[in-house]
Structure 1
Amino acid sequence: MAGGRRRGGGGRRGGARQHPGTPAPASAPLSAAATTAQPQAGAAPRTGRSKKAPVESAVRAPDVDSLGFQAMDRNVPGLSHVILQKLNMKSYEDYKSAMDGRKRGSDFGIRTYFDMFQKMEDTFKFCVECKKLPNALPDPKSLRRCKRCQNVYYCGVACQRANWPLHKKFCKKLKLVALDRLVEWLVFTGDIPFPTDTWTKPARDVKGWEDWFSMQEQLEEKLGAIVAGRYMTLLWANAGKPRPEDAELRESIRRLVTDFHSRPLTIGLGLRLFGIDPLTRPLTVHVVGASHVETLNTRLTDYDELTRMFPGHQGVEMVMVGVDVVDGPIMRPPLTTLAPRGKVYLSSYKGLYHDFWESQVETKLAAPPDLVVGFHPGFHACPDLLAGWLPTLLLLRDYRLPVLFTVYSEQELKASLQILVELETHIVGYASNPFASLRPEQVYSSPNKPPVYCSSHYIALLGAEAVPGAEELEDDDGWQGGEPSAAAVAGGTAPGLG
């Protein structure tokens, strides 16, 4: 069965889960560490040869987790201390050590499943209206959860009534967020995703998730087995919440399956957009800015959906490059030879991308990329993050590398496009991603906002700005209007920002 995944539980969002600079989506940073510390269902064992990890660069990019903690404390003062306390940690450095894979599960003080889920839920216990934590209230037990969404808390009737005009706009979506946050534990146990089937349609005919699910044989049986499985039973015996109806659980599993496979299928989309054919030659894909979001609990089979997307391919190597890559099975040097035919090979480098380029690519210790992908780079979020990304953005531009970035929302899309225009990059196109995650994400410390979705939009780049005066491309959805040829991609110009 396909292995579990990396991510910090409910959210990329907030402190732990977001990618460099993404200020919006966030669930409790506790969940990333807590799910790796589960009493019995831990990460997959190491496989393959033991190799010494590359020496980490002395220069570090801005610390995204630290920025996430700061953002939470601005919304809910003291919330970061609650998270550290629940994880049995004394400082942010302890938390960072856990996210880097250097802290053992037993160190978190989690002894039972109930303890794990309760500690995670405790980090959501603050009044969403007045922002008070339990220890700031006369009676810490006075916080009551919204019965409809099972997600947000109030310190009393007055705050609930005052907040209702805003909360009612998001209550139904936040119910899905709270459910998915718990069911995501089954990604770490290995129940999700279910084993997928060989694609019965060519990649060009798979327009989105509806087409993808239609190719999965015995889908209802697979979903039913997960709903009736041991870990689903353990989850609701220990979650401290009523178990939802089976139909709701099935829908949650479907959303989490799209969340898991969104990255490989988005990479496949990038190959198609740039006319890069994995059937003709072995390919190398660099995932730039990779962190624990992509690499926590990552297993060697996590991107195998690319093999089903492109049956008969000549081999694909995925190199995760970032200062916060987590130690694990994929912590092995990039290949110096071609990727194995018909296989997706995962490797990694712990360091900044321009350092990786100089020390590995230019010295031929690693292959140059056929495609570079950045999931939620977040360079729009603040000047420090943009400064950290600038050497990489200029390298990608000046070497004319095909690049695909993803973002969480239209707002983030517009802000990112503006920066890329100012850097005079050639923006081939941007659009909604047909393989965006269907899992809604909330801002952890400020939940009453429109939810966002991982990789909801993409931006395609290729080198420097096109020749002035050339005809501009309209925004296109990348799929409904037909697949662009390599020549069309190379000759396009930056779309206007309108």
Structure 2
Amino acid sequence: MAHRNTGTAPKTARAKKAAKEPAARPAGPDMDSLGFQAMDSNVPVRVARGKDFGIRTYFDMFQKMEDTFKFCVECKKLPDALPDPKSLRRCKRCQNVYYCGTACQRANWPLHKKFCKKLKLVALDRLVEWLVFTGDIPFPTETWTKPVQDVKGWEDWFAMQGQLEEKLAAILGGRYMTLLWANAGKPRPEDGELCESIKRLVTDFHSRPVTIGLGMRLFGIEPLARPLTVHVVGASHVETLNTRATDYDELTRMFPGHQGMEVVMVGVDVVDGPIMRPPLAALGPRGRVYLSSYKGLYHDFWESQVETQQAARPDLVVGFHPGFHACPDLMEGWLPTLLLLRDYRLPTLFTVYSEQELKASLQILLELETHITGYGANPFASLRPEQVYSSPNKAPVYCSSHYIACLGPLGPDAPHVQELEDDGED
């Protein structure tokens, strides 16, 4: 599986990853009226962004999106390589994977049956995600009625959302949901299935800001005591495409009465938009979350902006899926940033996709003599399953499924790797 980069090295394409960005701002030069460019970013391998493709209708849009997933999952042939390009047939159970014939389908079934049910959810969420870009998802949320430490996960979070059934019903009966299933080329699922898909996508939208709040709790950072600055290191199109200035306002609902927060997206692949504005030299506005960004390497940002006091020093640094474990090139690009975070003793939270990535990342951080203060499963991981684009018959992964918290250099009494693997938090 390819991993996206930090913004400290050339970006690695992640073909399997659906566009995770928050709801789109009104249609303009960056996105057509159908929202196709946003979904186009879903599949960068076989569709070039920013072109018309002759799309004139919603049906064309959804078909173009589905075309990018059409290849035989067994022999890997694309439609153009078949005598009849229309001979590809979709699995009727999951509505996700394709086969060029019954022989490939039978050969693939022993493997596919392990993942068929999960891949059905993936295919559904891939379509319903369009409602993120139309603005139907997420629904308006409520101020947290429980202390942060008492909210153990998404079940508790949904329990705090007033009139949840009415909010879900409004999305189900909305114009864009109707348009979706009139043009998707698939039968409309039952309302219960659609409600669960909407809820998964809502967790996907809010996972990043709520994970930032988790980082504050892990490090004992108190938003009610003073204004705070958070740096999102290695930000790219995943965090910044079509981002609105209000997309992290869940932090205000999480910490009502906070003294002001600024979240600065830093990375070489930050996308231009409403948050492409200079970081604040002073503290953020009281009771609000202010989003800003910087297009460049983090250690350059630190030298040119933080050390010159043109931007505030961070109280917390967060890296969503840095992927520095994936290959030497990514690690080389990340190294100056990792050493800076360690040597300046900046409270840092990284997220990863799986336990395997967790162990590999822990190994690297300990080899750099970084002090790991905690790690484990993220109670606010996205609940939306994601497939590997080129090889979907694998266990789906979930954004920010695990976290690593680290602070400063390794001390003489810090645990070794084996001890961490045995004693990690859950």
TM-score by length of 1: 0.78
**Structure 1 runs of 4+ off > 6 angstroms?**
21-25, 28-32, 469-473
SS in 1 for 2:200: helix
CA distance in 1, matches of 2:135, 2:322: 28
Indicate the residue corresponding to 1:476 in structure 2. Answer: 425
RMSD (CA atoms): 2.5
Pick from 9, 16, 22: which aligns with 1:26? Answer: 16
- The amino acid of 2:130's aligned partner reads W
2:41 matches 1:39: no
Indicate the residue corresponding to 1:47 in structure 2. Answer: none
CA distance in 2, matches of 1:244, 1:278: 42
Indicate the residue corresponding to 2:294 in structure 1. Answer: 349
2:73 matches 1:128: yes
- Alpha carbons 2:21, 2:205 under 8 Å: kept: no
For structure 2, which runs of at least 5 residues remain unmatched after alignment?
none
Pick from 359, 368, 390: which aligns with 1:414? Answer: 359
Pick from 220, 236, 248: which aligns with 1:303? Answer: 248
Query: What does 1:394-473 correspond to in 2, within 5 Å?
Result: 394-468=339-413
2:148 matches 1:203: yes
- The amino acid of 1:187's aligned partner reads V
Relative to structure 1, is the Cα distance of residues 180 and 135 closer, same or farther in structure 2, using a 3 angstrom cutoff? same
Pick from 177, 187, 208: which aligns with 1:242? Answer: 187
For residue 25 of structure 1, report the CA deviation from its aligned partner: 7.9
Relative to structure 1, is the Cα distance of residues 340 and 392 closer, same or farther in structure 2, using a 3 angstrom cutoff? same
2:257 matches 1:312: yes
SS in 2 for 1:216: coil
Indicate the residue corresponding to 2:306 in structure 1. Answer: 361
Indicate the residue corresponding to 1:91 in structure 2. Answer: none
Query: What does 1:249-398 correspond to in 2, within 5 Å?
Result: 249-398=194-343
SS in 2 for 1:466: coil
Indicate the residue corresponding to 1:149 in structure 2. Answer: 94
CA distance in 2, matches of 1:276, 1:466: 22
For residue 39 of structure 1, report the CA deviation from its aligned partner: 2.5
CA distance in 2, matches of 1:202, 1:317: 22
CA distance in 1, matches of 2:380, 2:21: 25
Once the two structures are superposed, residues 280-309 of structure 1 have per-residue CA deviations (whole angstroms, 9 ceiling, x without a partner) of 100000000000000001001100000011
Relative to structure 1, is the Cα distance of residues 28 and 145 closer, same or farther in structure 2, using a 3 angstrom cutoff? farther
- The amino acid of 2:185's aligned partner reads G
- The amino acid of 1:144's aligned partner reads R
- Alpha carbons 2:276, 2:294 under 8 Å: kept: yes
- Alpha carbons 2:20, 2:239 under 8 Å: kept: no
For residue 30 of structure 1, report the CA deviation from its aligned partner: 13
- Alpha carbons 1:27, 1:442 under 8 Å: kept: yes
Relative to structure 1, is the Cα distance of residues 31 and 211 closer, same or farther in structure 2, using a 3 angstrom cutoff? closer
Relative to structure 1, is the Cα distance of residues 189 and 14 closer, same or farther in structure 2, using a 3 angstrom cutoff? farther
For residue 132 of structure 1, report the CA deviation from its aligned partner: 0.4
- Alpha carbons 1:38, 1:113 under 8 Å: kept: no
Query: What does 1:87-102 correspond to in 2, within 5 Å?
Result: 87=48, 95=49
CA distance in 2, matches of 1:409, 1:276: 26
- Alpha carbons 1:313, 1:342 under 8 Å: kept: yes
- The amino acid of 2:118's aligned partner reads K
- Alpha carbons 2:5, 2:330 under 8 Å: kept: no
SS in 2 for 1:405: strand
Indicate the residue corresponding to 2:85 in structure 1. Answer: 140
TM-score by length of 2: 0.91
CA distance in 2, matches of 1:194, 1:273: 28
Q: Which deviates more, 236-245 or 464-473?
A: 464-473
CA distance in 1, matches of 2:200, 2:172: 14
Relative to structure 1, is the Cα distance of residues 25 and 431 closer, same or farther in structure 2, using a 3 angstrom cutoff? farther
- The amino acid of 2:424's aligned partner reads D
- Alpha carbons 1:304, 1:344 under 8 Å: kept: yes
For residue 468 of structure 1, report the CA deviation from its aligned partner: 3.7
- The amino acid of 1:165's aligned partner reads P
- The amino acid of 1:476's aligned partner reads E
For residue 360 of structure 1, report the CA deviation from its aligned partner: 0.4
For residue 446 of structure 1, report the CA deviation from its aligned partner: 0.4
CA distance in 1, matches of 2:70, 2:20: 13
- Alpha carbons 1:31, 1:120 under 8 Å: kept: no
- Alpha carbons 1:22, 1:376 under 8 Å: kept: no
CA distance in 2, matches of 1:476, 1:397: 21
Once the two structures are superposed, residues 201-244 of structure 1 have per-residue CA deviations (whole angstroms, 9 ceiling, x without a partner) of 11111110010000001101100110110000111111111111
Indicate the residue corresponding to 2:56 in structure 1. Answer: 111
Query: What does 1:68-87 correspond to in 2, within 5 Å?
Result: 80=45, 83-84=46-47, 87=48
Once the two structures are superposed, residues 395-438 of structure 1 have per-residue CA deviations (whole angstroms, 9 ceiling, x without a partner) of 10111100000000011111111111111100111100000000
For residue 23 of structure 1, report the CA deviation from its aligned partner: 8.5
SS in 1 for 2:137: coil
Once the two structures are superposed, residues 361-403 of structure 1 have per-residue CA deviations (whole angstroms, 9 ceiling, x without a partner) of 0111100100000000000111111111111011101111000
For residue 110 of structure 1, report the CA deviation from its aligned partner: 2.8
- Alpha carbons 2:224, 2:258 under 8 Å: kept: yes
SS in 2 for 1:268: helix
- Alpha carbons 1:280, 1:313 under 8 Å: kept: yes
SS in 1 for 2:332: helix
- The amino acid of 2:172's aligned partner reads V
- Alpha carbons 1:39, 1:113 under 8 Å: kept: no
For residue 111 of structure 1, report the CA deviation from its aligned partner: 2.4
SS in 1 for 2:123: helix
CA distance in 1, matches of 2:2, 2:325: 16
